[in-house]
Chain A
Amino acid sequence: MTQLLLSIDPSLVDWSRAQFALTAMFHWIFVPITLGILFIIAIMETIYVKTGDLEWKRTTKFWMKLFGINFAVGVATGLILEFEFGTNWSNYSWFVGDIFGAPLAIEGIMAFFMESTFIAVMFFGWNKVSKKFHLAATWLTALGANISALWILVANAWMQYPAGMKFNPETARNEMVNFWDVLFSPVAINKFLHTVNSGYVLASLFVIGVSCYFLLRKRETLMAKRSIIISSVFGFIAIMATIFTGHGSAVEVAKHQPMKLAAMEGLYDGGEGVELIGFGILNPAKTLENNEDPFLFKFGFKGMLSFLIDFDTKSYVPGINDLVKGDSEREILSIEQRMALGDSSMNSLIAYKAAQKSGDKELAAIELVKFEKTFPHFGYSYVEKPADVVPHVPLVFYSFHIMVILGTLFVLMFIVFGWLAMKNKIEKFKFSKLLFYLGILGIPMAFIASEAGWVVAELGRQPWVIQDLMTTSAGVTNISSSSVQATFWIFAFIFTALLITEVSIMIRFIKTGPAKPENEGGTEL
């Protein structure tokens, strides 16, 4: 069925995935801080420009330096990701290049230059440009960073829900037919807002955590308290937006990636009025083939999953078994049926191309009609057995629930920290020391939640690199597995060294604290 495709070594796919996952997860350590802290810095600098209070300038400069240490690694790893689309996923690059490339190019033209131009003014322009020009540069840097996130997330959303395109059998690729459908697909909108807001949450927790360190040490208390107020308010707004758009994302997942939703909830047998799992322990003995209970323990809310997806506590939500075996009453095709349709689609494409080559226009027209009819199942021609379409349930389930639980905790943290700091009670509070430790602990927790979100998004869509159209194994570059293994270890080594250096520099910088005050009066003369 896939005669025109080159045979691919399975370990190559695993190493290529591992390399991309390593790069993406490492990249995502630095990006969310950049996305969020830039706005926090811009708010602080705005207050400085409005009030002339030099303590705000000092505070702004301190966070700006921390941002700078973090930013460079994000830039470096961003380049690696861009290259890896081509070096490791060349078949994918062609298959989606007509759609995926455009956001990348627009990202470069619109966002990266804005970011890189104004960041230079932000860092070097304090004594070279006016206060207002500098402030504008800071806001534009923040805007540029966030616009760049928009385009790459639009591209990622398209992989989850391919919209605004048509497959062109002549060129054997997907081609864009409606740019606005790609940009404004509900999946893209939710993904962008959910992801950037989660970045703001992480950056806010980062600022709170570092500020808590100063409060614990009883140093730079004014700067720390001010920073906590700004980041708590900013973080609270962001976490509410994250929750709202997270819900929006889940609704879209239910529509376009029901298997992912089933894995997120550990839902093997669907039905009407499905409960939402608050938390649970999955049964390791559970497989697709046996009838074991999927959970050893669970705590859920009856009918809530149905309600959240459809605003109806009785609505139907399919489970993994329903999606694999199909349900004719509900018009759900089984995976075997979809595989047969996928084979038919692939064979029609091959027959169409052969007929075109031999000049048999009549046959080509017939095969084209057959192909277009079965195209929605095209990717299933790459699937070897029905069980292959089920993602790794434990990883997706636990990642999703850890993200949600931590997200709920963050809401409380922002409220408590914000309220206490605004009332100027944060140091006088009975359990303030404990609270400061919690604030510091918030930093790793935010990273865990953020990375877990990406695990849900990306592992949850496996085996697809483009939902229903191309499997990960079909998108990989045809290269020896050993080459990818070698580059994996090279990158792993570089990333480890970078992380150690970055953390070491950051800790030293935080311990040293901000520069000495420029004016003892606190207000610029």
Chain B
Amino acid sequence: MITSQITYLFFQQYWWFLVSLLGALLVFLLFVQGGQTLIYTIGKNENERKMIVNVLGRKWEFTFTTLVTFGGAFFASFPLFYSTSFGGAYWAWTALLLAFTIQAFSYEFRSKAGNIFGPRFFEVLLFINGLLGTILIGTVVGTFFNGADFTVNEMRNVTWHSNTRGLEAVLNWHNVALGLAIFFLARILGLLYFMMTIDHAEMYKRSKKHLLLNTIPFLVFFLSFVVWLLLKDGFAVNESGVVSMEKFKYLNNFIAMPAVLGIFLVGVVAVLFGIIRTVFSKKSYDKGFWFAAPGTVFTVLAVLLIAGYNNTAFYPSTHDIQSSLTIQNACSSLFTLKTMSYVSLLIPFVLAYIVVAWRAINKNKITREEIIDKNEITY
């Protein structure tokens, strides 16, 4: 019995780790969204904009797929979260859904003949996706720390007590700070990606200038979020599943899990190094992305781990604290978690072929000649 409980706990933690990792990879891949908000900032004429859209268009599928897999993995491993949050925060998730839906076809339709709305229309949609998609994801994830207004009954039916069905999350500045931090981080990553993949001196210069301009608000929002997170009370859960408030809960989580703190610090340093190295380099340094991107993954992973690990309710209820979701009460059965864990062993293989395909496509920088003169474009 005890062995079985320990096994169950292991798989619950394992799946929280995997879901957190997927979330972290998703935030890194939001560089596509960040880049989409810069089409007109960095691309000063139609040809430059074409280059940007085609550079980003080769990667949008990854972000989209990661979002779908993140949703699927959350549904599979923590179905009570899926039913509680998606059904409850109806308008927040619908807004997020709409923000992402408009991306998928915008690349494909933008430059095609017969597109009745014209290219500009789809560029606006890509901008909206970049703006709202990033801010909303951050705001929704913010509720992992600040809670939401719901109760869950014995049959696991959910009642959402706010009429705004999730949109009330934007009234909490801490949620929004995370949303805006992710928005500016996505733009930073987008700029670093342009610098790495586009062979164009003027666009490089512009990207560098905007890198600094976006780093300042990013730091303001990110630090506000982190400092407040470390100082605020958190939702702790004891061995019987009773939830209570604990002072400095998330700070305590970092202290209790030094490895997670290490991941967080390495991540933050890597992001800052990627930015600083690029901003202050005299030559056309273009490898900043490869520091900031893994740094983003590490940082977000650590933030999500402290939301669920160390006896913490990862989706707290502000209406009835005992309705809060923990990785124990919201997860799938041991059998399902185990079965999916076997499948998860394929992840390294999946990552390997992604790397091979990524390298094959990104081997050389995209040039004006390739995009404009040879007209080797899809979007």
Residues in chain A within 8 A of chain B (CB atoms): 4-6, 68-69, 71-73, 75-80, 82-83, 85-91, 93-94, 97-102, 104-110, 112-121, 123-125, 127-129, 133, 137, 168, 171-173, 175-177, 179, 353, 477-479, 483, 487, 490, 494, 497-498, 500-502, 504-509, 512
Contact = CB atoms under 8 A, between A and B. Distances in A.
Nearest to B19: A105
Interface stretch (B39-47, B98-106, B278-286): B98-106
Contacts of A173: 79, 156
Contact of B157 (A77, A91, A104, A123): A91
B87 A86 contact: yes
A72 B114 CA distance: 16
A142 to B, nearest CB: 15
Contacts of A123: 378
A109 B87 contact: no
A109 B344 contact: yes
B340 A106 contact: yes
B93 interface: yes
Given A127-B376, A171-B156, A179-B339, A90 B104 contact: no
Pairs of residues from A and B, 3 with the lowest C-beta to C-beta distance, nearest first: A97-B79, A90-B87, A86-B86
Contacts of B108: 68-69, 71-72
Nearest to B377: A124
B101 A494 contact: yes
A176 B93 contact: no
Interface string B64-90: 110111011101110110111111101
Contact-residue bracket for chain B: 35 or more
A113 B354 contact: yes
B171 interface: no
B371 to A, nearest CB: 11
B272 to A, nearest CB: 30
Given A76-B105, A105-B73, A479-B87, 11 more contacts: A86-B71, A93-B82, A94-B79, A94-B83, A97-B79, A98-B79, A101-B332, A115-B65, A116-B61, A487-B94, A501-B109
Contacts, number: 260
Interface stretch (B231-239, B297-305, B357-365): B357-365
Interface stretch (B188-196, B253-261, B345-353): B345-353
Contacts of B336: 98-99, 101-102, 175-176
Contacts of A478: 87, 157-160
Contacts of A94: 79-80, 82-83, 156-157
6 contacts: A79-B71, A83-B93, A90-B88, A112-B68, A176-B335, A502-B109
Contact of B75 (A85, A176, A512): A85
B361 A120 contact: yes
Contacts of A79: 64, 67-68, 71, 97, 100-101, 104
A105 B84 CA distance: 18
Contacts of B378: 68, 123-124
Most buried by B among A93, A115, A168: A93
Given A98-B332, A478-B157, A83 B71 contact: yes
A176 B360 contact: no
Given A82-B72, A172-B156, A490-B98, A105 B77 contact: yes
Contacts of A353: 154
Nearest to A118: B357
B112 A93 contact: no
A4 B156 CA distance: 9
B73 A501 contact: no
B61 A6 contact: no
A490 B339 CA distance: 38
The dominant DSSP class at the B interface is helix
B113 interface: yes
A454 B301 CA distance: 41
A101 B76 contact: yes
B69 to A, nearest CB: 3
Interface in B308-331: none
B59 to A, nearest CB: 8
B14 interface: no
A502 B104 CA distance: 13
Contact of A4 (B82, B98, B153, B333): B153
Interface in B107-122: 107-109, 112-117
A492 to B, nearest CB: 13
Nearest to B338: A179
Nearest to A152: B72
A83 B99 CA distance: 13
A83 B72 contact: no
A172 B155 CA distance: 6
B346 A86 contact: no
Nearest to A88: B87
A168 B333 contact: yes
Interface in B13-45: none
A509 B68 contact: no
Contact of A97 (B93, B98, B107, B332): B332
Given A94-B156, A113-B350, A129-B360, A75 B71 contact: no
B76 A501 contact: no
B248 interface: no
A99 B339 CA distance: 11
